[in-house]
Amino acid sequence: MSTPTTPGWYDDPEDDSQLRYFDGVVWSKHTTPRSTRPATGVAQPGQQQFPGQGHPPQYPGQGGTQAPSPSPVPGQAPAQPPATGGWSAPPTPQPGQQNPQFPGSPQGGWNAPTYGGVQRVATTPDGQPLASYWQRVGAFILDGIIQFVLMLVLGGWFLFKGFEPVWDELVTAMDSGDPGAFDRITADNVNFGYILAFGVIAAVITFGYAVFFLSRTGATPGKAAVGISVRLRDRPGVLSVGDAAKRTSLQAGLSLLGNIPLLGNLFSLVALVDLLWPAWDERRQALHDKLARTNVVVGKQPRG
């Protein structure tokens, strides 16, 4: 037998029943039984054959002789080498197989983590979200513009007559050229009878406007525009005429009483507190909501 030119496992020149490792210079003392070598396992010159699928040859001073592992069958993946300590890469999945799942990893892909401390959304007892304070402010402004136009159309004449004496005194002072004439223009020049009449008309419009829309659709035009509505706190649905009237009575009454000289300032202050109350109330109720046991919520109300 000729001497190999490259390192590898070859037929033992001294014993045909085993293989001997040639280190590239001389034959080593490392042998392995030939019976574990496949029938076609004649090593080709220049080709390294390592029993055990990737294990290096044993040298003097290292462990005992290891037997080679069977060669892979065509069409199958090669056997993975046994662990030799330390980290090893996970096995490569075969076609049609999923990547290996590791302990603690979610099945079916990555799931976003959940975080604690999420702020709870304020709702009615049955779970309907409450309107934010600024949604209510937006609705109040829109409804206020509509109501003010109605007040001018239906009660503008009374408002004009109430301030007509003041206007007359102002024109007279300007025509006289006397600076002292402006000092004679005071609140006494206002005709409070007409102003009170205008206040009654304004209160009626405020009351009728809210009761009409709340008892028909559950939302005034301003509330509908911003996507909110009014319902009883303990159950959904459009308010009855009685519940709508109870809710609106406080607002309309404060609007009327606010026209009384001097004392009206106190009622106007109460009206302001009523408007601000939902900003800090746990149930986001204004004082008139508490009176009628109502809540302003997000969305429309079903009709019964």
pLDDT tens for 261-284 read: 788 889 999 999 999 999 999 999
pLDDT of 223 reads 98
pLDDT of 133 reads 96
pLDDT of 40 reads 45
Fill in the amino acid letter for 102. F
pLDDT of 48 reads 46
Distance between CA 29 and CA 39 in Å, rounded?
24
Domain ranges of the chain: 1-46, 133-283
pLDDT of 1 reads 63
**Helix axis angle, 241-257 to 192-216, nearest 10°:** 160
Residue 103 has pLDDT above 80, yes or no: no
Average pLDDT score, the chain: 77
Percent of the chain with pLDDT over 70: 69
* Confidence grade of residue 3 (pLDDT, cut at 50, 70, 90): confident
pLDDT of 91 reads 52
Tens digits of residue pLDDT in 37-70: 444 444 444 444 444 444 444 444 444 444 454 4
**Three-state DSSP class for 232?**
strand
Residue 255 has pLDDT above 80, yes or no: yes
Per DSSP, what are the bridge partners of residue 123?
129
**Three-state DSSP class for 298?**
strand
Q: Is the Cβ–Cβ distance between 228 and 219 less than 8 Å?
A: yes
Residue 182 has pLDDT above 80, yes or no: no
Fill in the amino acid letter for 140. F
Q: What is the mean pLDDT of residues 73-93?
A: 47
Residue 76 has pLDDT above 70, yes or no: no
Of the listed ranges 114-123, 196-205, 209-218, 260-269, the least confidently predicted one is: 114-123
Distance between CA 256 and CA 291 in Å, rounded?
18
**How many CB atoms within 10 Å of residue 51?**
22
Nearest to 133 by CA among 284, 23, 246: 284
Q: How far is CA 10 from the centre of its chain?
A: 70
* Confidence grade of residue 172 (pLDDT, cut at 50, 70, 90): confident
Nearest to 124 by CA among 248, 275, 278, 298: 298
* Confidence grade of residue 232 (pLDDT, cut at 50, 70, 90): very high
**What b/e readout covers 283-300, taking b as 16+ CB neighbours within 10 angstroms?**
ebbbbbbbbbebbbbbeb
Sign of CA dihedral 167, 170, 176, 181: positive
Nearest to 66 by CA among 33, 39, 40: 33
Radius of gyration for the alpha carbons in the chain, expressed in angstroms and rounded: 47
Q: What are the angstrom distances between the C-alpha of 59 and each of 30, 42, 65, 66, 243?
A: 7, 23, 9, 11, 98
Phi then psi for residue 232, to 5 deg, are: -65, 145
